[in-house]
């Protein structure tokens, strides 16, 4: 009987091997024969070698392209994160949530020391404005217009059981809810609060001391002075120099000076608020600090110091975690 395999033509260069021979080219389909191999000439060998090289190169090229793409994505992510978050926080910038007394700043949103927003984007500044509104509620005279609250004067002795209340007007005309605390103009206000232990009585530096001379016209015998500035020279150059302007071009109206950083009240924290006479109703004194000339698209580290002459641990207030506050600005266009 004729087999279907009898009609299959053998290639001219086919070599038939018996069942006893082992080759690595696979199993044959011809009767009585297990393997079919081809006898390749020199040209065929070169072609096969070239094909293998091309295939290997293609695989390498694909893998390389994938690696480049992955690295590009990582680089974009890192740059994006750096722009949005700025430089990594330093250890001293993670102190606020750990200390129970000392100098504190607001807005302190999501436990972050970075304050970043765009004056052109209301959504980016809303969390900070809402935070400031919340903390400014304590200084609203309408909610504290009766006992035990009273308006205190410089150097005044506060009766037992009474609590000094700071008038909201002392925070200046720009650092208010109606003015968006300066954020809409790219001139943000920061609320600095000095919270001390109930029995603490802070002292101010004398006017003829090194600190008193440094404070110059912002020194007062009735206040704990507050200063804020860039942490380093690189930070300070992005805050800007003093600005001069003339609101009215009239010889009867002198040229006014606007500093890059202004305090409201100018002299700092009133000493009449210490010690606490009624801790359960006590509201600590605060200062609004407005930064008028912050450069955009730069991370700027700020350090504020409450110049307490008798710090709790006897250390220099400028080097103290308790009497300093650290935060950063990143204002984008």
Q: What is the mean pLDDT of residues 75-91?
A: 50
**Whole-number Cα distances in Å, 100 to 95, 197, 199, 225, 246:** 10, 9, 14, 21, 45
Tens of pLDDT, residue by residue over 110-153, are 989 999 999 999 999 999 999 999 999 988 866 666 788 888 88
Tens of pLDDT, residue by residue over 248-262, are 555 565 555 678 999
Fold of 89-331: Immunoglobulin-like (2.60.40)
Residues whose CB is less than 8 angstroms from the CB of residue 128 and which lie 6 or more positions away in sequence, other chains included:
107, 109, 115, 117, 181, 183, 188
Specify the higher pLDDT residue, 103 or 37: 103
- pLDDT band of residue 79 (cuts 50, 70, 90) is very low
- pLDDT band of residue 315 (cuts 50, 70, 90) is confident
User: Which of 11, 14, 35, 40 lies closest to 23 in space, CA to CA?
Assistant: 35
Q: What is the chain's mean pLDDT, rounded?
A: 79
**Whole-number Cα distances in Å, 21 to 14, 18, 28:** 15, 6, 12
Task: Map residue 290 onto helix, strand or coil.
Answer: strand
Tens of pLDDT, residue by residue over 47-67, are 555 555 455 556 666 677 777
Residue 7 has pLDDT above 80, yes or no: no
Domain ranges of the chain: 89-331
Q: Could you give phi then psi for residue 79, rounded to 5 degrees?
A: -65, -40
The tokens describing 196, both together, are 């001390």
């Amino acid at each position: 009987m004729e087999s279907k395999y009898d009609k299959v033509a053998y290639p001219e260069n086919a070599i038939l091997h018996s069942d006893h021979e082992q080759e690595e080219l696979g199993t044959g389909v011809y009767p009585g024969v297990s393997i079919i191999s081809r006898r390749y000439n020199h040209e065929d060998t070169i072609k096969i070698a070239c094909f293998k090289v091309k295939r290997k190169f293609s695989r390498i090229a694909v893998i390389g392209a994938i690696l480049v793409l992955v690295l590009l994505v990582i680089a974009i992510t890192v740059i994006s994160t750096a722009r949005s978050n700025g430089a990594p926080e330093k250890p001293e910038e993670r102190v606020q949530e750990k200390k129970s007394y000392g100098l504190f700043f607001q807005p302190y949103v999501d436990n972050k020391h970075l304050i970043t927003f765009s004056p052109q984007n209301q959504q980016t500044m809303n969390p900070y404005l809402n935070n400031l509104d919340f903390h400014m509620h304590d200084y609203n005279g309408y909610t504290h217009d009766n006992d035990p609250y009273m308006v205190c004067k410089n150097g005044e002795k506060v009766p037992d059981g009474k609590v000094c209340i700071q008038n909201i007007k002392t925070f200046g005309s720009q650092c208010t809810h109606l003015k968006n605390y300066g954020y809409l103009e790219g001139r943000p206000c920061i609320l600095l609060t000095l919270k001390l232990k109930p029995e603490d009585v802070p002292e101010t530096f004398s006017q003829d001391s090194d600190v008193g001379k440094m404070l110059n016209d912002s020194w007062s015998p009735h206040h704990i002075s507050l200063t804020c500035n860039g942490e380093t020279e690189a930070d300070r150059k992005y805050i800007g120099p003093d600005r001069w302007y003339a609101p009215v071009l009239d010889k009867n109206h002198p040229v006014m000076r606007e500093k890059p950083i202004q305090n409201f009240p100018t002299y700092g924290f009133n000493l009449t608020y210490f010690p606490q006479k009624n801790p359960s109703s006590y509201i600590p004194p605060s200062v609004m600090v407005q930064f008028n000339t912050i450069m955009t698209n730069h991370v700027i580290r700020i350090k504020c110091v409450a110049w307490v002459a008798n710090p709790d641990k006897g250390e220099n207030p400028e080097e103290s975690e308790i009497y300093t506050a650290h935060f950063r600005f990143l204002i984008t266009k």
